[in-house]
Amino acid sequence: MITVPESATVAATGDLSVWPASTTEPEPGEIAVAGVPLAEVADRFGTPVYVLDEQEVRERCRTYRLAFPDADVRYAAKAFLCRAMARWVVEEGLGMDVCSAGELQIAAAAGLPAEKIVLHGNAKSPADLATALRLGVGRIVIDSASEIARLAAAVGPGSRQKVMVRVVPGVAAGGHDKIRTGTDDQKFGLSITDGRAQYAIARILDQPRLELTGLHCHLGSQITTVKPYLAAVRRLVGLMARIRDQHGLVLPELDLGGGHGIAYRPGEPALDITALARKVRSELTASCAAAGLPVPRLIIEPGRAVAGPAGVVLYRVLAVKRTAGTTFVAVDGGMSDNPRPALYGARYAPRLVGRVGTVAPAMATVVGRHCEAGDVLAPDVPLPGDTHPGDLIAVPVAGAYHLSMASGYNMVGRPPVVAVRDGQARLLVRRESLDDIWGRDIGL
């Protein structure tokens, strides 16, 4: 058996620091979220199953509202969206950032005023733009020069659409190369460095049906320090000053996007939202004063930091295989419901729930059921040495970019989503069945 480091033993036996705040352990091994035992959720709804703590979502929305009282906070729907999630966000006073007609229609159906919705994306389809214009979204973010004339032509006669320009500020930040979007040579935005942002701005100002309200940027995802945001503020305010000098236009809005990092495992860093708000506000005030500009309305777009820590996914162990060097614990889900480990090398802290292990923890690799060697959910994690088929494995911090990025690989079907609150569990999104999959196949 492979020796487990002392620090890993803590993670295997009871550190709940990255779990929802409502998580308790009423009896050893029996984990409950919002008063609902996870083993009961698994028995009632089957596995895999996503458990979402409604109150945790709401509290995180309130944290942002309190930290940024003078800003517009828009939930980034791409992190996770369903009708209930949209309703919670609306009730907590947040707007929404969407990137497709599908996300947009769920936001609108939840009762979110169109003015509080922003549509962005590097390649918006005609359906995306048509839906946005029909619903009257508050802002459309221009991501390329070719989009300008197309959008202007789609705006009806006598109407004007408010737009922003997504700017690449040349700031490197983010937890992985594939989720860093603040530098040149990636698909999003228009660069300040090569002048494409300035060119796009000039073209927008020549379109009478478009009203430029501000600049937008998104540096990347899983950013855990404030410094990159401050650098972005300075560069964007500098561009706003040049726009004033060249075009006589003072832009009233500045959108800093999201990307706020969270801890996926005990001891990992997370972005301090209160510190971010304080320092960004100070930097924005100072930079605008130096440039002789009024302070624009700030907009931020948190997604992962709202949904991620509120979610837990439950898997049932199907097989345990011991080789010369590794113990593989295979579960009934995998890369079809969580592609992040395969895409980004994301790391998690799974644990056994529903019983107490009777054998000391040993290092194991939790793998999925799919026909890919890369279907690894959690390599080299401590689990009880007697983990066996039928056991229940829980993975915290599973609320963002899991189900929203799920696929139909191997026709397994996507898991359901269950909300928990005040000791009650209710189904939000049902399990995708084989009948659902067959219903789309009309080839015979």
Q: What is the pLDDT of residues 184-240, one digit of tens each?
A: 666 678 988 888 899 999 999 999 999 999 999 998 889 999 999 999 999 999 999
Contact of 279 with 287, CB cutoff 8 Å: no
What does the block give as tokens for 217?
Answer: 């940027």
Residue 268, in any domain of the structure: yes
The number of beta carbons lying within 10 Å of the beta carbon of residue 225 is 14
pLDDT of residue 94: 97
Q: Are residues 134 and 273 in the same domain?
A: yes
Q: How many distinct structural domains can be found in the chain?
A: 2
> Considering the domain boundaries, does residue 1 fall inside one?
no
Using CA atoms, how far residue 70 sits from 11, 134, 259, 420, in Å, is 39, 29, 20, 31
For residue 375, pLDDT beyond 50: yes
User: In terms of domains, do 78 and 193 share one?
Assistant: yes
pLDDT over 60 (residue 13): no
d(CA 242, CA 194): 15
Q: Which of 89, 71, 120, 75 is nearest to 254 (CA)?
A: 71
Residue 105 has pLDDT above 80, yes or no: yes
pLDDT in tens, 25-36: 999 999 999 999
Q: Which CATH number characterizes residue 341's domain?
A: 2.40.37.10
pLDDT at 9 > cutoff 50: no
Asked if residue 226 and residue 100 are part of one domain, the reply reads yes
Nearest to 250 by CA among 212, 287, 281, 216: 212
What's the CA gap between 236 and 217, in Å, rounded? Answer: 9
Rg (CA), the chain: 23
- What's the average model confidence in pLDDT over 287-307? 97
Q: Sign of torsion, CA 317 36 96 258?
A: negative
* Predicted confidence (pLDDT) at residue 180 exceeds the cutoff of 70: no
Last residue in a domain, options 287, 303, 319: 303
Residues 138 and 160 in one domain: yes
Do residues 105 and 163 both lie within one domain?
A: yes
Per-residue confidence at 376, pLDDT binned at 50, 70, 90?
Answer: very high
CA atoms within 13 A on the CB side of 277: 17
Q: With respect to residue 272, please indicate whether it lies within any of the assigned structural domains.
A: yes
pLDDT at 1: 33
> Do residues 253 and 339 both lie within one domain?
no
The answer as to whether 429 is a domain residue is yes
What CATH number is given to the structural domain containing 293? 3.20.20.10
Report how far Cα 65 is from the mean position of its chain's Cα atoms.
18
User: Is residue 327 in a domain?
Assistant: yes
Give the predicted TM-score (pTM) of the model: 0.92
Domain of residue 316, residue span: 6-53+309-440
Contacts 24+ apart (CB under 8 A), 130-137: 130/101, 130/154, 131/101, 131/104, 131/105, 132/101, 132/104, 133/161, 135/104, 135/105, 135/108, 137/104
Distance of CA 263 to the CA centre of its chain: 13
Q: Would the pLDDT of 42 be above 60?
A: yes
Residue 263 scores a pLDDT above 70: yes
When pLDDT is cut at 50, 70 and 90, the band that residue 174 belongs to is low
- If we measure between CA atoms, which residue out of 129, 94, 420 comes closest to residue 258? 94
pLDDT of residue 184: 61
Which residues carry out catalysis? 371
Q: Does residue 48 sit in the same domain as residue 71?
A: no
Residues 316 and 272 in one domain: no
Q: CA 29 to CA 31: how far, in whole Å?
A: 6
Instruction: Report pLDDT digits (tens) over 316-369.
Output: 999 999 998 899 999 999 999 999 999 989 999 999 999 999 999 999 999 999
**For residue 411, what are the CA distances in angstroms to 48, 316, 436, 441?**
14, 18, 10, 12
User: Are 32 and 66 found together in one domain?
Assistant: no
Asked whether the CA dihedral 271, 273, 275, 277 is positive or negative, the reply is positive
β-bridge pairing 72-76 and 297-300: parallel
Q: What is the pLDDT of residues 381-428, one digit of tens each?
A: 999 999 999 999 999 999 999 999 999 999 999 999 999 999 999 999
Give the HSE-up count for residue 114: Cα atoms under 13 Å, Cβ half-sphere.
12
State how far the Cα of 434 lies from the Cα of 239, in Å rounded to an integer: 53
Residue 265 located in a structural domain:
yes
* Domain shared by 228 and 363, yes or no: no
Last residue of a domain, one of 303, 319, 343: 303
Q: Residue 444 above 90 pLDDT?
A: no
With the CA atoms of 38, 43, 47 and 49 taken in that order, what torsion angle do they form, in degrees rounded to the nearest 10? Answer: -50
Question: How does DSSP assign 15-72, residue by residue?
Answer: --TTS-TT-EEEETTEEEETTEEHHHHHHHH-SSEEEEEHHHHHHHHHHHHHH-TTSE
Query: Does 298 map to a domain?
Result: yes
* 256 domain residue, yes or no: yes
Domain boundary among 303, 332, 359: 303
* Cα(411)–Cα(413) distance, integer angstroms: 6
pLDDT at 3: 43
- Predicted confidence at residue 2, as pLDDT, reads 40
Q: Are residues 294 and 355 in the same domain?
A: no
In a shared domain, residues 142 and 26:
no
Per the prediction, the chain carries an average pLDDT of 92
